[in-house]
Amino acid sequence: MTTTDIGQLSDFEQGVPRQLKVDGRVLVAVRVAEEVFVLDDRCSHEEFSLSEGEVDLETAEIECARHGAMFRLSDGAPMTFPATRPVKHYDVLVREGRLEVETP
Ligand code: FES
């Protein structure tokens, strides 16, 4: 397991997806309230970049801009069709005010 510093909470704007390159992976980070969620930046339907999608702050879900599938940010679960498979989710740790993403 590798942990990588991705900044602090104030570096992330509410509900604005940001692409991150971490440990050879392309990820998307989204802040909702006081938490930052990190998923693979790849829709499980047709491998479209989720960082181009919109975030629903009320449900804490991100929409794929290509065909509109919604994914739960807390675990990458697909909430609507056409996606049926989850997107990989990564844990984010908070250490002394810094955010660290864990990759296997
Ligand atoms: S590519 Fe994302 S919903 Fe189709």
Domain borders along the chain are 2-93
Task: State the closest ligand 1 atom to the C-alpha of 83, by its place in the atom list counted from 1.
Answer: 3
Cis peptide before 82 (omega within 30 of 0): yes
pLDDT for 63: 98
CA distance 20 to 68: 22
pLDDT for 64: 98
Those residues of the chain that have pLDDT short of 50 are none
- CATH says 2-93 is which class? mainly beta
User: Which tens digits make up the pLDDT trace of 15-30?
Assistant: 999 999 998 999 999 9
- Nearest partner of 15 among 6, 26, 28, 25, judged by Cα: 28
Nearest residue CA, atom 4 of ligand 1?
A: 67
Contact 60, 74 (CB under 8 A): yes
CA–centroid distance, residue 56 to ligand 1 (Å): 17
Q: Is the pTM of this model over 0.85?
A: yes
Nearest residue CA, atom 1 of ligand 1?
A: 46
Q: Name the token pair of 7.
A: 């900044």
The reply to whether ligand 1 has any atom less than 6 angstroms from the CB of 42 is no
